[in-house]
């Protein structure tokens, strides 16, 4: 079913109208060929529509969205992990650990502070590497 200006994927709702309309047009074209999964078509369409907007001097971000403080910062989730014979904080997507602590309690305390600042998720592991606890810090979900 093709998308329209009033019926489109939720992931397009924060785009400026011109960019959203272009993304809808592109997504419909990508799906028409039936060679692409819906999720991939949506992401591709949004990316291409933003490129189109930049080339045509249009804004690619919705100004209302930039005012929000409850938006999760991607790539900033924290992990408290066993590290050698100590504990460390690792940031999502980074190869190296951020900080090393003598105790798990110290690592968790610092990781909680950092994770709250970026509205992220904190994952705490056991010594075995299994997940002990996952905490989401989001203003809407007072974690």
Which residues of 17-98 form beta strands (DSSP E)?
A: 78-83, 86-91
Q: What is d(CA 127, CA 143) in angstroms, rounded to the nearest whole number?
A: 24
At 141 the three-state DSSP class reads strand
68 vs 17, which has greater pLDDT?
17
The whole-number average pLDDT for the span 81-94 is 93
The whole-number average pLDDT for the span 82-92 is 94
CB proximity list for 126: less than 8 A, separation 6 or greater: 82, 132
Supply the angle between the helices 38-55 and 17-32 in degrees, to the nearest 10: 130
Would you state the pLDDT for residue 143?
A: 44
Q: What's the pLDDT tens digit per position in 14-51?
A: 888 899 999 999 988 888 876 778 888 888 888 888 88
Would you state the pLDDT for residue 57?
A: 81
Confidence check: pLDDT of 64 > 60:
no
Rg of the chain in Å (alpha carbons): 20
Task: Kindly state the tokens that stand for 32.
Answer: 């028409």
DSSP character string of 83-134: ETTEEEEEETT-SS-SEEESSHHHHHHHHHHHHHHTT-EEEEE-TTS-EEEE
Question: pTM above 0.95?
Answer: no
Would you state the pLDDT for residue 122?
A: 93
The whole-number average pLDDT for the span 55-68 is 65
């Amino acid at each position: 079913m093709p998308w329209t200006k009033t019926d489109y994927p939720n992931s397009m709702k924060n785009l400026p109208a011109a960019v959203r309309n272009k993304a809808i047009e592109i997504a419909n074209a990508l799906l028409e060929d039936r060679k692409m999964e819906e999720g991939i078509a949506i992401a591709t369409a949004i990316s291409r529509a933003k490129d189109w907007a930049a080339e045509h001097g249009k804004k690619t971000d919705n100004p209302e969205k930039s005012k929000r403080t409850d938006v999760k910062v991607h790539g900033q989730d924290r992990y408290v992990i066993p590290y050698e014979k100590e504990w460390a904080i690792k940031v999502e997507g980074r190869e190296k650990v951020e900080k090393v602590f003598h105790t798990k309690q110290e690592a968790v305390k610092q990781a909680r502070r950092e994770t709250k600042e970026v509205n992220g998720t904190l994952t705490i592991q056991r010594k075995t590497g299994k997940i002990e606890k996952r905490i989401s810090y989001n203003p809407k979900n007072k974690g």
